[in-house]
Amino acid sequence: METIKIEKKLCTCCMDAHEVKIVREKDHTIFKRVMVEYEAVYEYCDRADEYLETGEMISQNDLAMKNAYRIAMKLLTAQQISDIRKKYQITQNDLAKLLGWGEKTITRYESHQVQDMAHDTILRKIDADPEWFLAILEERRNCFPEMAYLKYHNAALQVFEGDRDKYLRKSILAQYAKYCHAELCNGGMNVNLDKVVDVIRYYANSGRVISLYKVKLMQLLWFADFLSYKRRQSSMMGLVYTALPMGAVPIAHRSIINLKGISYEEIEYEDKTGYRFIGDQNGSYPFLSDEDKHLLDIVIEVCGSDTKDQIVKRMHRERAYQETKLNDIISYQFAQDLFIDEVP
C-alpha cells in the first residue's frame, strides 16, 4: 500500500472526522476471462482498517482495470486513444463521425468501454498515417462545418509535414522489401537511405560535378553502387536499378530525391520540369566511410564534368545496360565489366 496523500475529513467508514489516507494499492480481477492486475486508488481508514471508494475513485479504478486489460490484449489504452484524437485536434464526436461510428463511440472508448480489435486497428492506422486521415476527411468533408473541416485538415497537414520524412522512408523501404535477399538486385546489402542522402549531398557539395540534374544524378548513383560492388563485393547504398531509356534509375527515385537533407530547385522548361540538385555547404557525411568517399571521388573524376548527353552515352556503353531489357532490374553481376573502373 502506497500513501498518496492525507486529508482531514469526515470518514464515512467510522463516521468520525480524522486524517484519512488516500492510498494506491495493487489489485486484480478477472475481466473478459482474463486475469488483470492494476493499481487502484482508495480512501483508507486506519481506525476501522477499511478501504472505501468514492464515486470518482470507482470510475478511475474501473478505467485502470480496463487499461490493464487493453495492455494485456495489445490494444490501445484510453489515454492513447485520447492522444490520437488530440494530435488531430478533433473532438470525440467528430472523430466518431469521421470513422462512421456511433456518435458516442470515442467518448466511451476514452472512459469505460474497451474497443474491439477491428476498431483498434483503424485507430492505429489513423495514428500512423496522417495521409489516410486526410483522405477520409476529404471524403466526409460535407459531414463537418467548414471551420471544423479546416481545423482538422490543417492539424493533419502539420502532423504529416512534421513526420514527412518518416512516412517517405517507410514508403521507400516497402518498395525495397522484396529485394532484401536478392544480392544481384541490391548488391548484397539492404538499401541504406542515410547513405543515399549523404552520397547525393557529397556529389552536390563537391564543386566538381557540373549541371547536377536528375538524369545525371541517377547515373552517378548507379556508377557508385556498381563500382563499390566490383571493388568490395558489396554495393554502397543497396539501391536497386531498372533500365530506362535514359539509363539506370533506382526504384522509388521520385521519392528518394525528396528525402530530408536533399536540396534541389525546380526549373521550368517549355514542356517539362527540371530538377537541379544544390549543395548545402555542410561537409559532414556521417554515413560515408573514407573508402566510400574515395570511390565517389573516382566517379566524380570520370563523370563529374559530363553533360547529360555525355553521361547517358557513357551509361549506354556499359554492358550492364546493353544486356538488360528496358524496365528490367540491372543485375550487379555486370559490375565486373564496369568501364568506369579505369582510375586507380
Asked whether residue 344 is domain-assigned, the answer is: no
pLDDT digits (tens, 9 = 90+) for 233-279: 999 999 999 999 999 999 999 999 999 999 999 888 777 788 999 99
Asked whether residue 234 is domain-assigned, the answer is: yes
C-alpha cell at 263: 536540396
Q: Bridge-partner residues for 51, per DSSP?
A: 44
Q: Which residue among 112, 131, 162 closes a domain?
A: 162
> 337, 320 in Cβ contact below 8 A?
yes
Residues 6+ apart with CB under 8 A from 300: 203, 206, 208, 209, 220
7 or 295, greater pLDDT: 295
Prediction pTM value: 0.64
Cα–Cα dist 108/118, whole Å: 16
pLDDT digits (tens, 9 = 90+) for 304-338: 999 999 999 999 999 999 999 999 999 999 999 99
CA torsion sign, 150 to 154 to 155 to 157? positive
Cβ-count burial 83-119 (b if 16+ within 10 Å, e if not): ebbebbebebebbbbbbeeeeebbbebbeeebbeeeb
- Based on the fold, state whether residues 186 and 315 are members of the same structural domain: yes
Cβ-count burial 233-257 (b if 16+ within 10 Å, e if not): eebbbbbbbbbeebbbbbbbbeebb
Band (pLDDT 50/70/90 cuts) for residue 344 is very low
Asked whether residue 190 is domain-assigned, the answer is: yes
- Based on the fold, state whether residues 302 and 184 are members of the same structural domain: yes
- Based on the fold, state whether residues 65 and 92 are members of the same structural domain: no
Asked whether residue 171 is domain-assigned, the answer is: no
- Based on the fold, state whether residues 115 and 199 are members of the same structural domain: no
Can you give the pLDDT at residue 136?
A: 95
Give the type of residue at 65. Answer: M
Cα–Cα dist 58/55, whole Å: 5
Can you give the pLDDT at residue 52?
A: 82
> What does each C-alpha distance from 43 to 22, 36, 54, 59, 64 come to in angstroms?
5, 22, 8, 14, 16
Asked whether residue 231 is domain-assigned, the answer is: yes
- Based on the fold, state whether residues 135 and 106 are members of the same structural domain: yes
- Based on the fold, state whether residues 220 and 283 are members of the same structural domain: yes
Tell me how many domains the chain contains. Answer: 3
Asked whether residue 79 is domain-assigned, the answer is: no
Burial label for 185, CB within 10 Å (0-12, 13-18, 19+), is buried
pLDDT digits (tens, 9 = 90+) for 151-187: 999 999 999 887 888 888 988 999 999 999 999 999 9
- Based on the fold, state whether residues 203 and 299 are members of the same structural domain: yes
Find the domain containing 239 and state its range.
179-337
- Based on the fold, state whether residues 201 and 302 are members of the same structural domain: yes
Q: Bridge-partner residues for 20, per DSSP?
A: 7
- Based on the fold, state whether residues 10 and 61 are members of the same structural domain: yes
